[in-house]
Amino acid sequence: MTDLKELFIKYYGESSEEIRFFTSPGRVNLIGEHVDYCGGLVFPAALTLSSVAAVRLNNSDVVNLRADDLDGLYSFNLNNTEAGKDLKWGNYQAGVIHWLKENGYKVRGMDFLFSGNIPFGSGLSSSAAIELTTAVAAASLSENFDEKGYDLINLALIGQKAEHTFSGVNCGIMDQFASAMGKKDNAILLDCSTLSYKHVPLNLGEYTLILANTCKKHALGASAYNKRREEVSEGLIRMNSILGTDKDNLCDFTEDDYLKAEALMAADKIRDRVKHVIYENQRVKKAVEVLENGDLLAFGEILREGHASLRDLYEVTGFELDTMFDVACQTEGCIGSRMTGGGFGGCTVNIVKKSAVENFIETVGNAYKSKTGITPAFYVCDIGDGAREIKM
Ligand code: GLA
């Protein structure tokens, strides 16, 4: 924080206004992938890897954005937040501020300096973390904060809207929710159709979570993510028409419903997508149940099934993620593995015996590198708190 403050003053100069610090974490999703936008259950946890911003009012109508790892100043006027869509960097922040204003916040001109340690493009929700950092900061510094305060779930919804409208990714609510509502040492069981949730203590006993970064960047915006959303919308129409139902979400169907409909559905990709979504949603229920009963072996097995379904039915893995998964599953001490996040690159999450961590990193690292030519990165996954102000 002291370094960030110094850099802030170097960039923006001295002022009588106070510099404040805000932070919001990235997330790992343990199970429940590509179901949030189908009204399903997800089970993410906030990381201690996070985005941080130093922020200060500047007594103007302009929001200035900088980052400690980027050259240049990115600015937009509060009276024309839409122009923020065209920023080379800063569109998430502009989107959040746009929607805060629409929500009645009297946002004031301010200077931001962002920092953080979430590897970008690694499937750990660096964008949601930036959105939520911006949201808590801009709301806290707004003219009518005393009257409005903030509700973290509302800020998560604002972050999601920013992503839809300012970056063109039609994402679900999981990432922003986890970043906003994370709790140290707990995962979050979230029902994305109602936003009801509970924190579940992550008691992993003699095991720990390791993130294995394929170091192949995903490109959500340009990728097949939005296409998957279209496919599952078509899947919902098919399921309703075959079963004569009128359900709002694909996750309202059970495995039995799917089995009834299966033979009557064309055996194509849409059917595979539907099957993944319905079964993945059930996997979340089972996974949380076995975890609460302390059956980590069963939990790990469900994670592996989840990966196979994302690979074979939902087709969002790819060579690097599948290689990382395969070598992890063959490595001693690893009882569960799967890709986490949107896919097409990014990280896997692995459940590894604490005593086997070093060997896991070395063995998986070497095997992955020899098969892909890419040097991967590993992080021991500590579960932290959600979006907040850091008091100095
Ligand atoms: C991305 C999206 C989330 C979710 C995951 C897949 O992270 O932002 O909303 O759909 O992919 O589970």
**Token duo for residue 326:** 């395969």
Pairing of strands 207-213, 110-116: unpaired
- Cβ of 175 below 6 Å from ligand 1: yes
Mean pLDDT, consecutive 10-residue segments, the chain of 392 residues? 95 98 98 98 98 98 97 97 95 98 98 96 95 98 98 98 94 98 98 98 95 82 82 98 98 98 96 98 98 97 98 96 98 98 95 98 98 96 96 86
**Which residue in this structure is represented by tokens 């990382």?**
324
Q: Which of 43, 125, 124, 45 is nearest to 302 (CA)?
A: 43
Contact in structure between 316 and 348 (CB atoms under 8 Å) = no
In this structure, how many other beta carbons lie within 10 angstroms of the beta carbon of residue 303?
24
Q: Which of 327, 370, 298, 324 is nearest to 123 (CA)?
A: 324
Taking only the tens place, the pLDDT of each residue in 9-28 is: 999 999 999 999 999 999 99
What is the Cα–Cα distance from 207 to 148, expressed in whole angstroms?
A: 43
Q: Which atom of ligand 1 is nearest to the CA of 225?
A: 11
**Token duo for residue 347:** 């990280």
What is the Cα–Cα distance from 274 to 293, expressed in whole angstroms?
A: 29
Mutate to test the pocket of ligand 1, among 28, 31, 34 (most ligand atoms within 8 A of CB): 34
Q: Which of 382, 346, 352 is nearest to 364 (CA)?
A: 352
- Cβ of 341 below 6 Å from ligand 1: yes
The length of the chain is 392
* Secondary structure class of 378 (helix, strand, coil): strand
- Cβ of 124 below 6 Å from ligand 1: no
pLDDT of residue 222: 54
pLDDT of residue 121: 86
Q: How far is the CA of 318 from the centre of ligand 1 (A)?
A: 16
Q: How far is the CA of 341 from the centre of ligand 1 (A)?
A: 5
What is the Cα–Cα distance from 245 to 237, expressed in whole angstroms?
A: 9
175 in catalytic set? yes
Set out the domains of the chain in order of their start, with CATH numbers. 2-202+385-390 (3.30.230.10)
pTM, rounded to two decimals: 0.97
pLDDT of residue 218: 64
**Neighbouring residues of 78: CB distance < 8 A, sequence distance ≥ 6:** 61, 62, 63, 97, 101, 107, 108, 109
**Token duo for residue 135:** 């949201």
- In this structure, which residue's CA is closest to atom 8 in ligand 1? 171
Q: Which atom of ligand 1 is nearest to the CA of 173?
A: 9
Q: How far is the CA of 73 from the centre of ligand 1 (A)?
A: 29
Strands annotated E in 275-324 = none
What backbone torsions phi and psi does residue 16 show, to the nearest 5 degrees? -80, -10
User: Backbone dihedral region of 135: left (phi > 0), alpha (psi from -120 to 50 degrees) or beta?
Assistant: alpha
- Cβ of 37 below 6 Å from ligand 1: yes
pLDDT of residue 219: 58
Q: How far is the CA of 174 from the centre of ligand 1 (A)?
A: 6
pLDDT of residue 224: 84
Neighbouring C-alpha atoms within 13 Å toward the C-beta of 193: 13
What is the Cα–Cα distance from 377 to 364, expressed in whole angstroms?
A: 10
- Cβ of 228 below 6 Å from ligand 1: no
Catalytic one among 175, 191, 248, 257?
175
pLDDT of residue 175: 98
pLDDT of residue 221: 45
pLDDT of residue 138: 98
- Cβ of 34 below 6 Å from ligand 1: yes
